Chains A and B, each alone.
Chain A
Amino acid sequence: MSTLIAERPTAAPATARKAPKRRLRGESKLHPLVWVFVVAVMAFSLIPFYWLVNTSLKKGASLSQGELFPSQPTLENYLVVFQNPEFLLALRNSVIIAVVTTTVALVFASFAAYALARLKMRRKAMILTLILSVTTFPAIAIAAPMFSIWREIGLYDTLLGLIIPKLTFALPLAIYTLTSFFKEIPRELEESAYMDGATPFVAFRKVILPLAVPGLATTAILVFISVWNEFLLAVTLTTSPEARPVPVAIAFFSGTSEFDQPLGTISAASVIITIPLVILVLVCQKRIVSGMTAGAVKG
């Protein structure tokens, strides 16, 4: 990505990168009040995480008294979660659903996004508007008829029955993000491929696609997070642990635990599935930011 940005023959990115320096008004000395705000924002973002971890380490009286620090921290809740077959099944389901949906969405979306970003096409604006409008559909509008259709054709309560509707929401997200990444690639590259006698599709596959790998990775992360997070379709279209992904399993966890105070186990399960995503954010922070803001605001 960094090399790409450096090569981009445009004025906009230069100002974009200069911007932070320019705002160096207070230089590195911030007003004390601004520091108060920084600390408040940090606390607001982090304290709930602390409380979740804290709750997951407590049992019995220590849990019900709500100690601010666990006086007798225990990993028992975690053991219970890992011994729960339904949670493990849900984890498996979520991984399958998210990986398959992300892969398929990325393949189709990269074609569509390239065409929309670079090729001559009739009614391009209308097609983009249509694609974007799919993202505004409330999932319940799809979930209700899917519930009936899937029951009739046997896809209800299956992984495939979840992947298909989730793909519908993943595609526009991927197309929208990828289109703006493709636009950033300098046109000269395709021009020289054409000079060498390449057809537009060959230029796309051999020249553009390899250069778009960072954009594809970013899009994959965003799509993965959104599919992993999705709840309404998942809860409407499944009924058994065999097909339930993680969010639904966690939401119904209280019912499956024999403990009188399942809050500890629910918190432990929540921590377990949050850790991979937190690592993803820590490692790919820049990617996620560029993906979320891609194409959103330019000029």
Chain B
Amino acid sequence: MATRTISPSRGPAKTSGRDRAERRLALRMTAPSLVIMALVAAVPIGYAIWLSLNQYSVRTAGLSRFVGLENYINALASQEWWAAFGQTLLFAGLSVSLELILGTAMALLLNLAFKGRAVLRTVVLLPYAIITVVSAITWQTMFQPNMGLVTNVLSMLGLPGGDVVWLGEHGYAMAVIVMADVWKTTPFAALIILAGLQVISAETYEAAELDGASKWQTFVNITLPLLRPAIVLAAIFRTMDALRVFDLPFVLTRGANGTESMSMLAYTQLRENRLVGEGSALSILTFLTVMVVSVIYVRFAGGNIRDVAKEEQ
């Protein structure tokens, strides 16, 4: 925000001719990106809506039959959809809250000045570079019965969990999927929150110190409220991502033991069962779920998002 107030304005010398030229140039410069995105995002989504209203199977080689909302009604009446819906929300809720808590703690840590901070910063970032499929494989190997690191250490210490087939039971499998996600994406949340932490001015803290506030009071009354926009932003990015989750359950369980996500269910109908109409309806339902959640976020944390949007103007 400071950038805008201080940066000099265009000055009085500008002419309306230049204004018009600038507007034309702006339009020409944005057009290619907008056209690509419209063609490859809007058109397919429109087509997906059309497909979802038809009974269309790859097996029937392009023979489609308009069935109206039948695919949606079937999906919404099915247990599979609601199971996938519930599992995805559960996954998003668990992993995003863990990531925000851990991410905030990590950001506070990275904001302290100590020897080795640079090392810590790099180490924390490493999991972000690993591809999700590899992250899934890594966590799978750690939880292999008898031969994984975690199962091994647990049984060596005589703790429960060493003889569990982690990916073979719903609760445990979910826990591994959440852990793999937290491992890979907490750095992202931490860095967004760290950026928010670094714009809190020193004076604010000095004032609190003068008032004799304890460290905990300062954290709760100053740091957290001022961090809110950053935390909300991290929450939005992470939630949108978590609701689309696909790679982790795909590799870790192939959706077995009730870990199938919404995206996975749509994929299964489409690719494995070759039901394009049903698959499209499920993908539109996934799309709607993500949209509804983002609208709720904007409502709930409206001020923040509007600030971010204003910042973008």
Contact = CB atoms under 8 A, between A and B. Distances in A.
B2 A282 contact: no
B30 A112 contact: yes
Interface SS, A side: helix
Nearest to A135: B240
A45 B139 contact: no
A200 B25 contact: yes
A175 interface: yes
A66 B192 contact: no
A30 B112 contact: yes
B201 interface: yes
Given A12-B199, A19-B197, A52 B138 contact: yes
Contacts of A109: 33
A25 B132 CA distance: 38
A44 B33 CA distance: 40
Given A138-B290, A277-B129, A112 B123 contact: no
A12 B2 contact: yes
B33 A112 contact: yes
B283 to A, nearest CB: 4
Contacts of A188: 8
Contacts of A15: 198-199, 201-202
A183 B3 contact: yes
A48 B127 contact: yes
Interface residues of A, number: 125
Interface stretch (B72-80, B89-97, B142-150): B142-150
A251 B133 contact: yes
A44 B294 CA distance: 31
Contacts of B126: 45-46, 49, 278, 281
B280 interface: yes
9 contacts: A9-B6, A45-B127, A48-B142, A116-B30, A140-B267, A145-B47, A183-B3, A288-B125, A293-B191
A24 interface: yes
B176 to A, nearest CB: 12
Given A263-B141, A297-B229, A66 B246 contact: no
Given A137-B45, A147-B271, A281-B129, A51 B149 contact: yes
Given A65-B146, A142-B40, 15 more contacts: A22-B202, A66-B148, A112-B34, A116-B26, A136-B290, A136-B291, A140-B244, A168-B40, A200-B25, A231-B131, A251-B251, A274-B131, A274-B134, A289-B191, A292-B192
Nearest to B149: A51
Contacts of B137: 52, 250, 266-267, 270
A119 B22 contact: yes
A128 B37 CA distance: 12
A81 to B, nearest CB: 13
B131 A229 contact: yes
A151 B22 CA distance: 42
Contacts of A48: 127, 135, 138-139, 142, 183
B42 to A, nearest CB: 9
A142 B198 contact: no
Nearest to A12: B2
B220 to A, nearest CB: 16
Interface of B: 1-3, 6-8, 11, 18-19, 21-23, 25-27, 29-30, 32-34, 36-37, 40-41, 44-45, 47-48, 51, 56, 58, 62, 105-106, 109, 111-117, 120-135, 137-139, 141-142, 144, 146-149, 151-152, 183, 188, 191-192, 194-202, 205, 229-230, 233, 240, 243-244, 246-247, 250-251, 262-263, 266-267, 270-271, 276, 279-280, 283-284, 286-287, 290-291, 294, 309, 311-313
Given A51-B141, A146-B44, A28 B113 contact: yes
B27 A121 contact: yes
A114 B188 CA distance: 26
Nearest to A26: B112
Nearest to B62: A152
Contacts of B26: 115-116, 119-121
A297 B199 contact: yes
Contacts of A277: 129-131
A23 B209 CA distance: 12
A189 to B, nearest CB: 11
A250 B134 contact: yes
B7 A175 contact: no
A231 B266 contact: no
Nearest to A246: B131
A267 B287 CA distance: 34
A21 B251 CA distance: 44
A128 B138 contact: no
A142 B44 contact: yes
A179 B33 CA distance: 13
B115 A28 contact: yes
B250 A112 contact: no
